[in-house]
Amino acid sequence: MDPDVRAGHPATASRQPHPVSAVLLVAHGSRSPEGQQEMLAFGRLLAAAAPEVPVATGFLELCQPPADQALDDLVAAGATQVAVLPLMLAPADHTKSDVPAVVLLGRRRHPTVQLLPARPLGTDLAVLATAAARLHEAGATGLPLCLVARGTSDPEANAEAYRAARLLAEANRSRLVEVGFAGVTWPTTTEALERLVAQGAREIVCLAWFLSTGLLVQRIWQDCAAFSRARGLPVRAAGHLGPDPRLGPLLRDRLEEALAGRATMTCDVCAYRAPFPGLEDRLGHPLGVGRSHLAATHRHHHHP
């Protein structure tokens, strides 16, 4: 018997190799070469954390290879069981629609292969610890905090950014905290910074709540720099999360949840599950309704 099992360490015991043949990380994609490389680096993190499982990374848009092609390549290489893991933070449209479409279409193309969905990384302690480290590295402990997330039309995902901001403010001892979004919804980065100044902030730290860099992250720093010049007020850029080693074990945890059939998401206010005020048309919407090429393929398949 494994000595750690004898010693009564169930977490260690759960790390035993699983009969999964492979894992597919599904990333959004980016036009930024640096962002693309960071997404691929997450695959290497998972490969190091789960060396017994082959890892491939595919993209929903903007990058190669597409997620469906990466899945096909795993199957062609002999995979008979694949965990499909969203390389994303929040349960937004891509996670709720496009990534499930990867699974759904994959099952149709490969009916003898078992495809197991995993949940996104979410506001996990490992993610918060990584974000807190970025603030510490910026010398920003205790400073008023502006957390800027991607922004989406999904109310649940936007609300999750506020939850993350409050948790991170607690960890960073920031008595002032505001949330901004890089696109789609409100408030903007600049509006969030203005709110902090209105509350008395004289110096601000800004953190991009993104797993990898890209054009949106670059826009956040441009907005911060323009605000700082216009206001004459320092705004420290604490960066983004990035492929930090702290996140390797979390990726493995998400993989193991999928293998155990425990990959569930909180759906209490999901607009696809129950009527959300103002978004009633989303109720029961078919999978694959997002903006990626994968979603377009799925729509065409069902709505010729």
Alpha-carbon span 249 to 49, nearest angstrom? 6
C-alpha 250: how far from chain center: 12
Torsion sign, CA atoms 67, 71, 72, 77: positive
Catalytic residues: 28
Alpha-carbon span 174 to 184, nearest angstrom? 27
172 contacts: CB under 8 Å, gap ≥ 6: 132, 135, 140, 141, 142, 143, 145
Alpha-carbon span 293 to 276, nearest angstrom? 27
Q: For tokens 């155990």, name the residue.
A: 260
Burial of residue 291, with CB atoms counted within 10 A of its CB: 0-12 exposed, 13-18 middle, 19 or more buried: middle
